[in-house]
């Protein structure tokens, strides 16, 4: 793959990861009925739920705590994107690769943690259904990471120029 195309694709994927954080990430369901849908930003910052009791008319507020792993994933995605624009330097390229890999790792860790928390707190009645935004963010972060391992077409397989020895 030509280096210019690879850089453009990597930057696009990392930018898309940030956009996917605005899409629905997880829906909590009870008996197949959706209770709440949260995007990546809601998961990272927390959210206040308001529900009205149909019998008494009282409004109840409940805080959903922020999930730090999602915030770390978003920060890693931002760092990877910034470093991708500096990718001409070798250390920036490596840093972007590591940051995009960390983003994917934090997203996976979030999934396992939230699934476990929902199972414990919901006692098996409430379930977490992972939405398209989460899966697209995870796949885009993984794809950006993998792109760094693909050799550049300009340097791959190009024979080295051998200078004749001068006597």
CATH number at residue 19: 1.20.140
Task: Give the chain's domain count.
Answer: 1
Asked if residue 157 belongs to a domain, the reply is no
Asked if residue 161 belongs to a domain, the reply is no
pLDDT of residue 68: 93
Residue 25 domain boundaries:
3-147
82 contact partners, CB below 8 Å, separation of at least 6? none
Asked if residue 130 belongs to a domain, the reply is yes
Asked if residue 166 belongs to a domain, the reply is no
Asked if residue 91 belongs to a domain, the reply is yes
How many other C-beta atoms lie within 10 A of the C-beta of residue 164? Answer: 5
Asked if residue 154 belongs to a domain, the reply is no
How many other C-beta atoms lie within 10 A of the C-beta of residue 138? Answer: 22
Asked if residue 105 belongs to a domain, the reply is yes
Asked if residue 160 belongs to a domain, the reply is no
Residue-averaged pLDDT of the chain: 85
Confidence band, pLDDT 50/70/90 cuts, at residue 53:
low
Confidence band, pLDDT 50/70/90 cuts, at residue 163:
low
Q: Which of 146, 149, 147, 72 is nearest to 108 (CA)?
A: 72
Q: Which of 34, 58, 38, 33 is nearest to 48 (CA)?
A: 38
- For residue 39 the two structure tokens come to 């995007």
pLDDT of residue 47: 83
């Amino acid at each position: 793959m030509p280096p210019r195309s690879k850089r453009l694709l990597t930057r696009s994927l990392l930018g898309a990861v940030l956009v996917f954080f605005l899409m629905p990430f997880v829906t909590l369901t009870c008996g197949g009925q959706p209770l709440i849908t949260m995007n990546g930003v809601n998961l990272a910052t927390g959210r206040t739920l308001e529900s009205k009791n149909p019998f008494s008319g009282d409004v109840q507020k409940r805080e959903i705590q922020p999930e730090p792993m999602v915030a770390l994933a978003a920060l890693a995605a931002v760092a990877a994107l910034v470093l991708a624009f500096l990718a001409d330097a070798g250390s920036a390229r490596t840093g972007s690769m590591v940051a995009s890999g960390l983003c994917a790792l934090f997203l996976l860790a979030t999934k396992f943690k939230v699934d476990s928390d929902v199972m414990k707190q919901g006692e098996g009645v409430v379930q977490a259904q992972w939405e398209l935004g989460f899966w697209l963010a995870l796949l885009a972060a993984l794809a950006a990471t993998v792109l760094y391992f693909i050799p550049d077409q300009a340097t791959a397989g190009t024979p080295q120029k051998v200078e004749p020895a001068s006597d």
